[in-house]
Structures are given as C-alpha cells and as structure tokens.
Amino acid sequence: MPAAHAGTPAQPPMPDAFNLTTVATDPAIVATNTPTNFVITVTTPQVAGTHHIRIILPADYYTNTGKRYPVLYFLHGASDNPANPYLAWPAVLDASARSSMITVEPDGGLRGWYANWLDQGTSAKAQNWENFHINQVIPFIDADLRTIPDKAHRAIAGLSMGGFGAMHYAQDHPELFSQVASLSGAIDLSRDSMDVRMAAVGTLTNGAGVLCGSASDPSCPSGFGPTVSSDALFGTPYPFSVFYPFSDVLWNAADPSTHMAKLAGMGISIYVGNGGGNPVNMEFWAESASGHVKANLDALGMPYHYVDYGNGAGWGACDGGHDGKCWAADMVDFVPRLEAAFGA
C-alpha cells in the first residue's frame, strides 16, 4: 500500500487471514488509491488467479475511531473489474462513498457468476466464487475493519451479473444479510427467461457483447477468459424436458426468481429500465427478468421496493440502458433507504 501523504491517515492494515493471502497490487492501481477508497489484491485457493477488492470507507472512518459501521457488499457485472477506475462502478458507488457505511466490492471475475462452478476441471481452473466471498471475504472484512458484524447491518447489492449474485447469495445465506438489491440484474435464470440464461452461457463460451450495454462498449471485451463449456457453471442449460426432465436442474436451483420465499423478512429492492425497447440492449431482457421476479413476489404477498424507470426520463441522467448512468441514479435512491434501514 502507498505511504500516506502528510496529514492523511494510512490505509488500515489487512493481514492475511481466512486463507486469503494479500499480494502486491499493481503500481498503476496503487497510484489511484486514497485512504478512503483503495484496492487490495489477494489470492485464494478457491479461485484461480489474483483478485482485487475495492474498499470504500466513510469520510469519518479515521476521525471517529470508536465508531463501527454497517457494510454494503456491492457485486459488479460481467466483464467488469473493481480495480478499474474507468468503468461504470465509480459513479455507481459515489453515493455510498458519501454515506455512513463501508462499501466492499470484491472481484467476481469476468464471468464468475458468483457461484461455485459445477466443473472445476476447465481451463479456467478453480472457480469457487461463492466460497471465496462468503467464507473468506466477509469474515476478512469483519476482522480487519470496524464493521458491525451482524445480519442487521450487512447488505448485498449488485448490477447485471452482480444482481444475480446478490439475490443468489441472499437466498443461500439469509442469515448474513438484511437487505438485498438488484440493479438491472440477471435475476431470472429459469426457463421463463431463456434469453437471460443464454446470455450467461455466452459469457462461458465467449459470445461477444453479452450482458454489456452494447457490443461496442469499450468496457465490454469480446473475451471473458478461457472458453469453457456451456455446462461448466450449472451443468447443461438446455431444458430437454421431453426426454430429460431434470437436465437443467442446477440452473433452476440457482435461479433467484422462483425462490423468492427464501428472502422472507429481508428488504428487497429491484431497479430496471427498458433499454429503449431495443432487444439489442441487455436492459430490454433485464426488464423482463425483473418483471418475473416482481410477479413471483406479488404471488407470495411479500413486500419490496420496485422501480422500473423505463427509458430513464426523470431518473437522473439515465437513458434507460444497461449502463452506469442508470445504476448511479439507482444508488441515489437506494443508499438513503439502506441507511434508514440500518439505522432502524
């Protein structure tokens, strides 16, 4: 970590723990670090390679040393990297940077899908993202920062692929989170949203432009890492229902939309636009997926906060697309509501 400038605090020490090993961070990334917004780099046996974790601390973290803080875990989308300051996430997290909570954005891989892959023997090597985040990152943060380490003061949110991750983790681990939010999330992987499921498959098989604002978006590369089988994540995604009625059972088990009852008692927020009605824009399909989730919540009689801002008119600088302008506006709405929930 860089030395603190005169009059500014040093970043908190974050020693190795929970089978995470901190390693040197690229100097170009270190140069952008500040005491309250910085990236650390870790390795873990659970996921191949090195992984960045961005940490944003409240403005009073170093001056109010007796205070402990709630934590928002924010999960990025496909092709994103929490260490890259030029992608959409800085605008998304700007609202939380000014808030009274700690925000943590862990690496989710270019297409890690916030899950433990079924096939650990692909050219991508170890891909146990859920183990990494739940069993390592969360206790690591609680050990090294002044968090309030309980369910009532811990939230999880994410955009696009990360919207799926947030719902998936909240459903798998309801004892950990009191609030969950999806921003333009891929939150329906059931047979009702085969378009979204196939977009996920596209990231595995390196289909260009999937789950990005547009194929020409410089933040959306055509490669998501080593090409792997469509079955690597949750087994076969194809519902050969006549002869193999359980062929896609793991996709259905991981699908958030049909398991919303697992979020009973949790605050649920969903934000989505319509992509301008253009099927080329991923937001068009995200709206459909979010609509299915809303319908299932209504059927269960569960409360939620749902915003469909359509083409973005009146929603900050949003254009209704699958992009950071809309996600920034989502956060302007979400963060104060989250703060109020934490305060309660």
- 8 A C-beta contact, residue 326 and residue 184: yes
Please give the Cα distance from 336 to 46 (Å, whole number): 35
Count CB neighbours of 294 within 10 A.
18
Q: Which residues contact 314 (CB under 8 A, 6 or more apart)?
A: none
Q: What is the pTM of this model?
A: 0.93
- 8 A C-beta contact, residue 252 and residue 289: no
Residue 192: the pLDDT is: 86
CA atoms within 13 A of residue 111's CA, in its CB half-sphere? 29
Q: Which residues contact 236 (CB under 8 A, 6 or more apart)?
A: 230, 247, 248
Query: Any bridge partners for residue 305, and if so which?
Result: 269
Residue 295: the pLDDT is: 98
Q: Residues in the chain with pLDDT < 70?
A: 1-8, 88-92, 95-97, 208-222, 241-246, 344
Q: What is the CA radius of gyration of the chain?
A: 19
Residue 195: the pLDDT is: 87
pLDDT digits (tens, 9 = 90+) for 152-195: 999 999 999 999 999 999 999 999 999 999 999 999 999 888 88
Residue 311: the pLDDT is: 97
Please give the Cα distance from 80 to 78 (Å, whole number): 5
Strands lying side by side in the sheet with 267-272: 21-23, 37-44, 47-56, 102-106, 71-75, 154-159, 179-183, 267-272, 305-308
